[in-house]
Amino acid sequence: MKKMMLVLIASACCSALANRASAQDADKAIADAVIAMVKAQWTADIKDPTNTAAQSKDTSDDYTEFNADYATRIDGKAMSMRLAEAGAKGSEKRVAAEMGNPKVQVYNGDVAILTYNYIGLTMGKDGKTEPGRAKSTRVFVKKDNNWVLVHANFASDPVPK
């Protein structure tokens, strides 16, 4: 009887460890996927800043955003795209974009929160580059078996004095 109990306990422990490892693998795959989505958005912007459809292909229709440029929340993918399209007509162009310190928190396999420091460069029509910095949070939700961006917060990240 004692031997049977030990076997059952050992089996339960092994099963729990295997389940934990499996969940960690799933979370890592989700983290890799949402990070890749953001990098694909930046790549699309660098390739063609006017193609806002490619840049927002993973954005939910009910997307919301806070950023340092506007004092109010941007509500909806449509509003976000109108602003992006207007901004794409300017003379500045993103030439580099990197993600520092990325962290993805996954909840129940259907919500992922990505936080990172944005590090980038834009080039003006005069050819001069300017660094860009931001503290960023993006929230992704799995809808109809696809990951979509539902909210973002892009905060200023001033250079330390």
Rounded Cα gap, residues 104 and 92, in angstroms: 30
Give the tens place of pLDDT for each residue, 41-74: 999 999 999 999 999 999 999 999 999 999 899 9
Closest CA to 155 of 84, 68, 83: 68
Residue 161 inside a domain? The answer is: no
Domain containing 52 equals 2-156
Give the tens place of pLDDT for each residue, 128-161: 999 999 999 999 999 999 999 999 999 988 888 8
> pLDDT at position 91, please?
87
Rounded Cα gap, residues 47 and 50, in angstroms: 9
Query: What CATH number has the domain bearing residue 84?
Result: 3.10.450.50
Query: Do 153 and 137 contact (CB within 8 A), yes or no?
Result: yes
Sort residue 52 into left (φ over 0), alpha (ψ -120 to 50) or beta. alpha
Tokens representing 81?
């795209």
Strand partners, 74: 65
Residue 142 inside a domain? The answer is: yes
Rounded Cα gap, residues 65 and 111, in angstroms: 17
Query: Do 129 and 122 contact (CB within 8 A), yes or no?
Result: yes
Domains in the chain, number: 1
Give the tens place of pLDDT for each residue, 76-105: 999 999 999 998 888 889 999 999 999 999
Closest CA to 104 of 43, 154, 36, 30: 30
> pLDDT at position 26, please?
87
